[in-house]
Amino acid sequence: MKRVVLYLRVSTLDQHPETQLYDLRQMAEQRGWEIVHEYRDHGVSGARARRPALDQLMADLPQGKFDTLLVWSCDRLARSVKHFLEVLDELHRLNVEFVSFRENLDTGGPLGRAVVIIISAIAELERNLIIERVRAGMRRAKLEGQRIGRRPAQVDRASVLRYRIHGHSLSQIATAHGVSRALISKILKEEKLAGHKGPLQAPLQAAENRQSESAA
């Protein structure tokens, strides 16, 4: 005999889950299933990511307490297609069947498994289309001369070198210039000063000359 758990959800407190419960109990009785537990989220919106009863159900799932999850409809369980597929994947991984009363969906049968595969394929196609649209937009922006990503931080290189020559650490220089330590390290390596703290004027003069040329 299959061990079945029920999951019921209604969005508002003035709604009652008994309507769902009657249909699910009748279905379980007709199929000869044993209902071992009922999880109820009463007055909880389906859009909410965290639901007490659903969270408890997912926590109990790996413990092998039941063989089948029975719901009144798919939208009672998941808040989105992505969430629905995530739940189905977890059920499949733990060999727990999923049955929906309204959609007549049963992953224990060939038709139910086919429907799940179709839903998964559609979701994957949607993800790929989104990725391709993003890539196409980035390619178009590059062709039009637009910059992709954040603008590089503007740092006074001569000032960075002066700080280093006067013995300041990379962290101190980064804090003083409001940039990351990694960027300071990169600048110093380019000027061959990453490990130097003593008086060395040539790289500093070169940096100041480049800064003057850029200003001109």
* pLDDT tens string 153-197: 678 888 888 888 888 888 888 888 888 888 888 888 887 654 444
Per the domain annotation, does 126 fall within a domain?
Answer: no
61 within a domain of the structure (yes/no): yes
Q: Is residue 200 part of a domain?
A: yes
Classify the phi-psi angles of 17: left when phi > 0, otherwise alpha if psi is within -120 to 50, otherwise beta: alpha
Distances (CA, A) of 57 to 50, 60, 132, 191: 12, 5, 36, 59
Asked whether residue 123 is domain-assigned, the answer is: no
**Domain CATH number, residue 41:** 3.40.50.1390
Last residue of a domain, one of 113, 144, 175: 113
Give the per-residue pLDDT at 197: 46
Q: Decide if 159 is catalytic.
A: no
Residue 72 inside a domain? The answer is yes
Three-state secondary structure call for residue 26? helix
Contacting residues for 213 by C-beta, under 8 A, at least 6 apart: none
26 pLDDT higher than 60: yes
Strands 105-106 and 97-100: antiparallel
Inside any domain, residue 76: yes
pLDDT recorded at residue 73? 86
Number of domains present in the structure of the chain: 2
The identity of residue 32, as a single letter, is G
For residue 94, the 8-state DSSP code is T
| Structural domain boundaries, residue 56 | 3-113
Residue 121: per-residue pLDDT: 74
Is 70 exceeded by the pLDDT of residue 51? yes
Tell the burial category of 3 from Cβ atoms under 10 Å away from its Cβ (0-12, 13-18, 19+): middle
CB-CB contact of 7 with 46 (8 Å): no
**Based on the domain organization, do 97 and 185 belong to the same domain?**
no
Predicted TM-score (pTM) of the model is: 0.54
Among candidate residues 98, 113, 128, the one where a domain is terminated: 113
Picking from 113, 147, 180, the residue at the C-terminal end of a domain is 113
What confidence score (pLDDT) does residue 198 get?
47
* SS3 assignment, position 4: strand
- State the average pLDDT over residues 38-62: 82
Residue 101 shares a structural domain with residue 25: yes
Do the domain assignments include residue 74? Answer: yes
What's the mean pLDDT when you consider all of the chain?
80
Q: What is the pLDDT of residue 29?
A: 93
Q: Does one domain contain both 32 and 99?
A: yes
pLDDT band, residue 152 (cuts 50/70/90): low
Q: How confident is the model at residue 69 (pLDDT cuts 50, 70, 90)?
A: very high
Report the share of the chain in percent with pLDDT over 90: 18
Catalytic choice (11, 73, 120, 185): 11
Residue 98 pLDDT class (50, 70, 90 cuts): very high
Same domain, yes or no: 99 and 191: no
